[in-house]
């Protein structure tokens, strides 16, 4: 089997990747979701970086957050913006592609190449819309496992990801403990709190209140851009911290602001509107509803205590990273994960990084985070090869 690869930039070590292509893997048969619904041969979009070793023991899976996708590093043809975690992946970087084979896929239910509500339903030839079944974090991981099997990898060296990606990391440890040696959940939680659910619900209501949403049946028509943009604006506030917003914007006013009416007067208003407007150009509104619902449903301790759920991790290594200013997924939630894993005898490392970026720190703080991950992967590789 030939594995898709990316081409490296001809620059010094640590310079990252050049052009990379997103590939597709179609499951060869119908796939049953945890809730019982069946998808007819769903498709998974993915990218790979580096080379798989002869022993196939150097593979690392990266799981993306809510608004992410398979394009984690490098550049697509004709684009000048790199993948969403580009600074962390490449020769000499945290996920060193001179040593590791890195895989990242778009989640099931997504809108960036994987099967989701915007995909065509083979039974009707039309987009699924709200006929698409609800998916869970476990469903996403199940499909990732099928992809890893397709790539010929029996055991992952590590699975890593932040936010919703961190939830997938934990689910990997619970669903497929024999198929992964180490887990790296970053700025994550084992379950959503009422506050976290509340913010997601405001976003969903913003989408569904847009007249253009049309009960989810807007494909081929005007998309509910206003509602989705508003949802993104609300969500983006939770990704930041008060200190970072004050430092970046304070009470700065836009040059043309006249203080009258309700046009963009403060710089922070223009920033949020820009973020909302940019988001709707690349993201599907129904996908936003499905993925935020999957996050809200995620609760590893729903049926039994977390310490019992983590019994399968007794022989695993775990690196939990949290950020001091993250109030959306505060460090206390990472500590809950650490405690449950330690009580089961897992080899656990906890790192709380001081950063002012808020929840977005896992995407922006690459110096200390890179150092910690590099060392953790180095030791993990040595212990497992």
Q: What is the pLDDT of residues 214-241, one digit of tens each?
A: 999 999 999 999 999 999 999 999 999 9
Alpha helices in 257-354 (DSSP H): 267-279, 285-297, 306-309, 331-342
Tokens 């550049």 correspond to 75
Look at residue 14 in the predicted model and tell me its pLDDT.
47
Q: What is the pLDDT of residues 44-65, one digit of tens each?
A: 999 999 999 999 999 999 999 9
Cβ neighbors of 12 (< 8 A, separation 6 or more) are none
Q: Is the pLDDT of residue 247 over 90?
A: yes
Q: Is the pLDDT of residue 246 over 90?
A: yes
Instruction: Specify the DSSP class assigned to residue 30.
Output: -
State yes or no: is 326 an active-site residue: yes
Q: What is the pLDDT of residues 310-332, one digit of tens each?
A: 999 999 999 999 999 999 999 99
State yes or no: is 96 an active-site residue: no
Q: Is the pLDDT of residue 12 over 70?
A: no
Query: Please, are residues 235 and 198 in contact by the beta-carbon 8 Å criterion?
Result: no
Q: What angle do CA 328, 333, 337 make, to 5 degrees?
A: 145
User: Whole-angstrom Cα distance, residue 345 to residue 329?
Assistant: 25
Look at residue 370 in the predicted model and tell me its pLDDT.
97
User: Whole-angstrom Cα distance, residue 104 to residue 181?
Assistant: 17
Q: Quote the pTM value.
A: 0.94
Look at residue 1 in the predicted model and tell me its pLDDT.
31
Q: Distance of alpha carbon 76 from its chain centroid, rounded?
A: 19
User: Whole-angstrom Cα distance, residue 169 to residue 317?
Assistant: 12
Helix pair angle (285-297, 194-208), 10° resolution: 160
Instruction: Specify the DSSP class assigned to residue 310.
Output: G
User: Whole-angstrom Cα distance, residue 347 to residue 313?
Assistant: 9
State yes or no: is 236 an active-site residue: no
Cβ neighbors of 383 (< 8 A, separation 6 or more) are 181, 317
User: Whole-angstrom Cα distance, residue 27 to residue 157?
Assistant: 23
DSSP per position, 356-379:
SSGGGHHHH--HHHHHHHHHHHHH
Cα–Cα distances (Å) from 365 to 172, 245, 310, in that order, read 25, 16, 29
Half-sphere exposure of 234 (CA within 13 A, CB side): 17
CATH number at 23-192+300-384? 3.40.50.1820
User: Whole-angstrom Cα distance, residue 349 to residue 184?
Assistant: 10
Helix pair angle (225-239, 285-297), 10° resolution: 40
Look at residue 217 in the predicted model and tell me its pLDDT.
97
Mean pLDDT along residues 249-255: 88
Cα–Cα distances (Å) from 311 to 139, 316, 342, in that order, read 21, 10, 10
346: left (phi over 0), alpha (psi -120 to 50) or beta: beta
Look at residue 321 in the predicted model and tell me its pLDDT.
98
Q: What is the pLDDT of residues 347-377, one digit of tens each?
A: 999 999 999 999 999 999 999 999 999 999 9
pLDDT band for position 11 (cuts 50, 70, 90):
very low
Q: Is the pLDDT of residue 385 over 90?
A: no
Q: Which range among 6-10, 73-77, 157-161, 204-208 shows the weakest confidence by mean pLDDT?
A: 6-10
pLDDT band for position 260 (cuts 50, 70, 90):
low
Which one of the listed residues 31, 67, 359, 360 is annotated catalytic? 359
At 129, list the tokens: 């819309």
Q: Which range among 18-22, 34-38, 166-170, 200-204 shows the weakest confidence by mean pLDDT?
A: 18-22
Which one of the listed residues 326, 334, 356, 360 is annotated catalytic? 326
Q: What is the pLDDT of residues 143-156, one digit of tens each?
A: 999 999 999 999 99
At 237, list the tokens: 């506030």
Task: Express as a percent the part of the chain with pLDDT over 90.
Answer: 91
pLDDT band for position 3 (cuts 50, 70, 90):
very low
Task: Express as a percent the part of the chain with pLDDT over 70.
Answer: 94
Q: Is the pLDDT of residue 203 over 80?
A: yes
Mean pLDDT along residues 103-109: 98
pLDDT band for position 174 (cuts 50, 70, 90):
very high
Q: Domain boundaries in the chain? A: 23-192+300-384, 196-294
Which one of the listed residues 105, 114, 119, 163 is annotated catalytic? 163
Look at residue 18 in the predicted model and tell me its pLDDT.
81
Look at residue 40 in the predicted model and tell me its pLDDT.
95
H or E stretch including 43?
A: strand 43-49
Selected from 1.10.1740.110, 3.90.79.10, 3.40.1350.10, 3.30.70.920, the CATH number assigned to the domain covering 196-294 reads: 1.10.1740.110
Mean pLDDT along residues 276-304: 97
Q: Each residue of 282-304: b (16+ CB within 10 Å) or e? A: ebbbbbbbbbbbbbbbbebeeee
């Amino acid at each position: 089997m030939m594995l898709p690869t990316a081409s490296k930039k001809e620059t010094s070590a640590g310079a990252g990747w050049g052009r990379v292509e997103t590939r597709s893997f179609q499951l060869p048969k119908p796939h049953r979701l945890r809730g019982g619904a069946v998808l007819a041969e769903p498709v998974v979009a993915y990218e790979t970086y580096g080379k798989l070793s002869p022993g196939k023991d150097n593979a690392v899976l990266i799981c993306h957050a809510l608004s992410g996708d398979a394009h984690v590093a490098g550049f697509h043809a004709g684009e000048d913006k790199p993948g969403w975690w580009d600074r962390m992946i490449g020769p000499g970087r945290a996920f060193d592609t001179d040593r590791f084979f890195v895989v990242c896929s778009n989640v099931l239910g997504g809108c960036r190449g994987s099967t989701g509500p915007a995909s065509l339903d083979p039974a009707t030839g039309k987009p699924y819309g709200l006929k698409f079944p609800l998916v869970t974090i476990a469903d996403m991981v199940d499909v990732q496992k099928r992809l890893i099997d397709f790539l010929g990898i029996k055991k992952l060296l590590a699975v890593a990801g932040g936010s919703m990606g961190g939830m997938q990391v934990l689910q990997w440890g619970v669903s497929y403990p024999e198929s992964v040696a180490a887990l790296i959940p970053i700025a994550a939680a084992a379950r959503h709190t009422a506050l976290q659910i509340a913010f997601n619900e405001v976003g969903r209501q913003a989408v569904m209140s847009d007249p253009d949403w049309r009960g989810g049946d807007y494909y081929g028509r005007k998309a509910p851009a206003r509602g989705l943009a508003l949802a993104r604006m609300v969500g983006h506030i939770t990704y930041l911290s008060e200190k970072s917003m004050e430092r970046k914007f304070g009470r700065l006013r836009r040059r043309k602001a006249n203080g009258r009416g309700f046009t963009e007067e403060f710089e922070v208003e223009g920033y949020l509107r820009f973020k909302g407007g940019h988001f709707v150009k690349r993201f599907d509104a129904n996908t936003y509803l499905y993925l935020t619902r999957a996050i809200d449903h995620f609760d590893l301790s729903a049926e039994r205590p977390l310490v019992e759920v983590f019994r399968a991790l007794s022989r695993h290594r775990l690196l939990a990273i949290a950020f001091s200013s993250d109030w959306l997924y505060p460090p206390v939630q990472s500590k809950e994960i650490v405690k449950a894993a330690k009580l089961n005898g897992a080899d656990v490392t906890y790192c709380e990084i001081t950063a002012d970026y808020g929840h977005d720190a896992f995407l922006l703080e690459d110096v200390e985070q890179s150092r910690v991950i590099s060392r953790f992967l180095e030791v993990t590789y040595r212990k497992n090869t």
